[in-house]
Amino acid sequence: MNKSSFLSEVVQASGQTIQACYQCQKCSAGCPIAYAMDILPNQLLRHIQYNHREKVLGSKTIWLCASCYTCSVRCPNNIDIAKVMDTLRAMAIRSGIQAGEKDIPLFHSVFLNNIKSKGRIHELSLLLQFKSKTKDFFKDAQLGWKMFKKGKIKIFPSKFGGGKDIKEIFNSFEKGERR
C-alpha cells in the first residue's frame, strides 16, 4: 500500500483495515438506505481500495449513511464501515470537493453553529436557521404548528452552558488543531 495513497489515508484516519474487504456485500444487503445511495457501501470500499478519491468524497453515499451500524456489526472482516463513513465525511469537508448531497452537510454546519452559540441545541432556532439557508419555509410549517400546540416546541433557549469550554473546543476545531 502506497503510504501517500487515498487508501492509506483512510485506513490511517479510520483505524479500519479496508484492504480486508473481499466484496461479500453483506453491508449493502443490510443497509436500510442502500436504495437511495449512488454507490453501495461495498462498492465504496472497493473505490477506496482503488484510490478513487474524488468519486468517494463526492458521493451521496457518505452523507446518506445514517450511522445505524448494521454494516459494522455484520462485516465478516470486522471493518467498522460506519466509522469509515465518519472519516470520509470529515475528509470530504476539508477537501473542498463538491458534496454529493447539498442539504445534509449544510444541516451539520448549522447544527454545530447552534451548539457553538448556545451550548445546547435549541430546536426551534436550529430549524429556523436551517430554513433560512434552504429557503424552504413552508415545508413542515403545519406540522410545526401542531407540535407547538402539543407543547413540544420550546420557545426560548436555555441559558448558555459551558461558555469557555465550548468556545475553546470550537476555536481549536476551526483552526484545525490536532492534539
Residues that bind other proteins (CB under 8 A): 32-33, 36, 63-64, 66-70, 72-73, 80, 82, 86-87, 89-90, 93, 101, 103-109, 111-112, 115, 119-124, 127, 130, 139-140, 143, 146-147, 150-154, 158, 161-162, 165-166, 168-170, 172-173, 178-179
Q: Which is nearer to other proteins, 96 or 151 (CB)?
A: 151
Instruction: Give least dist CB 39 to other proteins, A.
Output: 16
**Which residue type sits at 14?**
S
Helix spans in 50-80 (H): 53-57, 61-64, 70-74
Closest separation between CB of residue 25 and other proteins, Å? 18
The set of residues, in sequence order, having a beta carbon less than 8 Å from that of 90 and lying 6+ positions away, is 13
The residue among 65, 81, 95 whose CA lies nearest residue 25 is 81
Is the CB of 55 or the CB of 116 nearer to other proteins?
A: 116
CB of 117 to other proteins, least distance (A): 11
Residue closer to other proteins, measured from CB, 29 or 111: 111
Identity of the residue, 2 or 32, whose beta carbon is nearer to other proteins in the bound complex = 32
| Distance between CA atoms of residues 92 and 44, nearest Å | 14
Residue 34: closest CA among 75, 64, 76: 64
* DSSP H/E element including 48: helix 41-49
